[in-house]
């Protein structure tokens, strides 16, 4: 709770992202992660359909797609302070490195499906917070 209070105080003092911007940023970040999951799942399906023996690539794409979904869920549903722990647990259970999870989050923050500048700033802030905590 202290991190949220500090962020709110900072936003009020310097005109940074406010609570609505943070909510919009979280939603945009989750949407970008869902798009990643869709792309990764399609990649896994295409590799499987090609039947060229890329079992490791199929498993990697499938695991990362599942991780993107788990990260999106954590960002959209969990309190800010709980997100890093949930993401780390999901990465571990899917046998994906935490570094890869951070890369997915940062990538999502760079490909947001919105032109709302305040939401983009808030999403970048949320991605940085999670990356630092991981």
Per-residue model confidence (pLDDT) at position 30: 97
Q: Show Cβ contacts of residue 44 under 8 Å, excluding neighbours closer than 6 positions.
A: 58, 61, 62, 65
User: What is the predicted pLDDT for the residue at 5?
Assistant: 58
Q: In this structure, is residue 103 part of a structural domain?
A: yes
Task: Say if 44 falls within a structural domain.
Answer: yes
40 falls within a domain: yes
User: pTM for this structure?
Assistant: 0.84
Gap between the Cα atoms of 24 and 88, Å rounded: 23
- CA angle at 122 for the pair 1 and 74, rounded to the nearest 5°: 60
**Tally of structural domains, the chain:** 1
Q: Name all contacts of 8-16 with Cβ < 8 Å and 24+ positions apart.
A: 16/121, 16/125
Distances 114 to 31, 46, 61, 67, 124 between C-alpha atoms, Å: 10, 28, 26, 22, 13
**Mean pLDDT per 10-residue interval, the chain, length 134 residues:** 56 70 94 97 92 86 97 95 96 96 96 90 95 95
Domain that holds residue 125: 32-133
Residues 13, 19: contact at Cβ < 8 Å? no
Q: Tell me whether residue 121 is in a domain.
A: yes
**What phi and psi, each to the nearest 5 degrees, are found at residue 54?**
-90, 50
Q: What are the C-alpha distances in Å from 63 to residues 31, 34, 44, 50, 122?
A: 18, 14, 9, 19, 27
With respect to residue 4, please indicate whether it lies within any of the assigned structural domains. Answer: no
pLDDT reported for residue 54? 85
Domain assignment of residue 1, yes or no: no
The answer to the question of residue 25 being in a domain is no
pLDDT score, position 77: 95
Residue 12 falls within a domain, yes or no? no
């Amino acid at each position: 709770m202290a991190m949220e209070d500090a962020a709110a105080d900072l936003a009020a003092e310097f005109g940074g992202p406010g609570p609505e911007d943070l909510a919009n940023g979280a939603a945009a970040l989750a949407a970008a992660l869902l798009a990643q999951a869709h792309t990764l799942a399609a990649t896994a399906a295409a590799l499987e359909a090609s039947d060229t023996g890329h079992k490791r690539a199929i498993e990697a794409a499938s695991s990362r797609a599942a991780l993107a979904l788990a990260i999106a869920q954590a960002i959209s549903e969990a309190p800010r302070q709980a997100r890093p722990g949930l993401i780390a647990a999901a990465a571990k259970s899917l046998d994906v490195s935490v570094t890869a999870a951070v890369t997915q989050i940062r990538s999502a923050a760079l490909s947001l499906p919105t032109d709302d500048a305040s939401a983009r700033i808030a999403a970048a802030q949320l991605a940085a917070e999670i990356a630092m905590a991981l």
